[in-house]
A and B are shown apart, each in its own frame.
Chain A
């Protein structure tokens, strides 16, 4: 378990599935980061969680409020590659009342510490849809840079949108944290 000021980040357990199921049924949330806004039923969600759990290239984590122990979001590291020392990350806050209060930023700082200092990775990247302004702002605040654009990579609400490739290197993270600038 990774412990922050207000949140903890821990592996997804079976008892978290009902909450994650609620989030995954939320169109407004899902359209922000999912390539296909396909709604999974409970069985499909269970098998997704199981698949992530057994896949050595995936680390499936959830974000829980430290005081109430309630889970408020999810963070999945995918394509964890120990040879090229990089991983892809996607992170969201699912509980409405926790959105826009810096929980995502705090979680991302915890994830960066985990990826760079615990897993010894060199690079962390994330794909962000261009209309997901909150995420872009959060990632930039955490030190990720826009490295490139996948033009018209996602079709949503009747038109194509660009996807930003955002990333941060270990050396950039170290430079940032050495200055005491940590969430």
Chain B
């Protein structure tokens, strides 16, 4: 378990699958996530847990006090030679939005990636409309490095993605 200021990040077990399923079927939550809603993985047995037990990525459950799970964060597409990885943080529990939990999880996982996993660069491609996430990444030390044009088809149109990254100093 990794401890942040407000949140703890812990490994995902088979018992957690019910939580994941509930979350991945909430349309509002999935608005900014680059998957098709409803998540096709749900219809594949063990599919969702399969996604979260992939060996080439690190997937952790975000929980607040009393071990209440509120979201998931991941380091994935890890390239250990170049020492780069993609990061994502999603707070699925809507009543926990806007309280800084996402920022805390992002900051904690970023530090873990840079200083424990020894990554050189961590990046994320964020849907351009997701201003809250962009601000959150900036606060955590990420910089905008460019725009990926019409890179994701979501809800009837192509979306631009903002590419953001942090490089170990």
**Interface residues of A, Cβ cutoff 8 Å to B:** 82-85, 118-120
Would you list the 6 A-B pairs with minimal beta carbon distance, nearest first?
A: A82-B80, A83-B118, A120-B81, A83-B117, A119-B81, A85-B118
Whether the pair B118, A120 counts as a contact (CB closer than 8 A) is no
Which chain B residues have a beta carbon within 8 Å of chain A's beta carbons? 80-83, 116-118
Residues of A within 8 A of B116 (CB): 83
Please classify the interface of chain B as helix (H, G, I), strand (E, B), loop, or mixed, using the class held by over half of its residues.
loop
Residue in B closest to A119 when the chains form the complex, CB atoms: B81
- Main SS of the interface on chain A? loop
Given contacts A82-B81, A83-B116, A85-B118, 5 further A-B contacts (CB under 8 A): A82-B118, A83-B80, A84-B118, A120-B82, A120-B83
CB distance from A126 to the nearest CB of B (A): 21
User: Which residue of chain A has its CB nearest to the CB of B119?
Assistant: A83
Shortest C-beta distance, B24 to chain A (Å), equals: 30
Contacts of B80 in A (CB 8 A): 82-83
Q: How far is the CB of A2 from chain B (nearest CB, A)?
A: 15
Chain B residues lying within 8 Å of A120, measured Cβ to Cβ, are 81-83
Q: How far is the CA of A85 from the CA of B83 in the complex (A)?
A: 10
Please indicate the chain B residues that have their CB under 8 angstroms from the CB of A82 in the complex. Answer: 80-81, 83, 118
Cα of A83 to Cα of B82 in the assembled complex, Å: 11
- Output the nearest chain B residue to A85 by Cβ-Cβ distance: B118
Provide 15 A-B residue pairs closer than 8 Å at the C-beta atoms, listed in order of the A residue: A82-B80, A82-B81, A82-B83, A82-B118, A83-B80, A83-B116, A83-B117, A83-B118, A84-B118, A85-B118, A118-B81, A119-B81, A120-B81, A120-B82, A120-B83
For B81, give the chain A residue with the smallest CB separation: A120
Return chain A residues, CB-CB under 8 Å to B81. 82, 118-120
Q: What is the bound-complex CA distance between A82 and B82, given in angstroms?
A: 10
Q: How far is the CA of A69 from the CA of B117 in the complex (A)?
A: 40
The answer for the CA separation of A120 and B168 in the assembled complex, in Å, is 15
Contacts of A84 in B (CB 8 A): 118
Q: Which residues of B contact A83 (CB under 8 A)?
A: 80, 116-118
Give the chain B neighbours of A85 by CB distance below 8 A.
118
CA–CA, A85 to B80, complex, Å? 9
Report the minimum CB–CB distance from B80 to chain A (whole Å). Answer: 3
The CA-CA distance from A118 to B118 in the complex, in Å, is 17
Across the two chains, which residue of chain B brings its CB closest to A120?
B81
Q: How far is the CB of B53 from chain A (nearest CB, A)?
A: 17
Residue of A whose beta carbon sits closest to that of B120: A120
Interchain CA distance A84-B80 in the complex, whole Å: 10
Give the CA-CA distance A119 to B80 in the complex, in Å. Answer: 9
Distance, CA A92 to CA B81, complexed state (A): 26
Residues in chain A near residue B82, CB distance under 8 A: 120
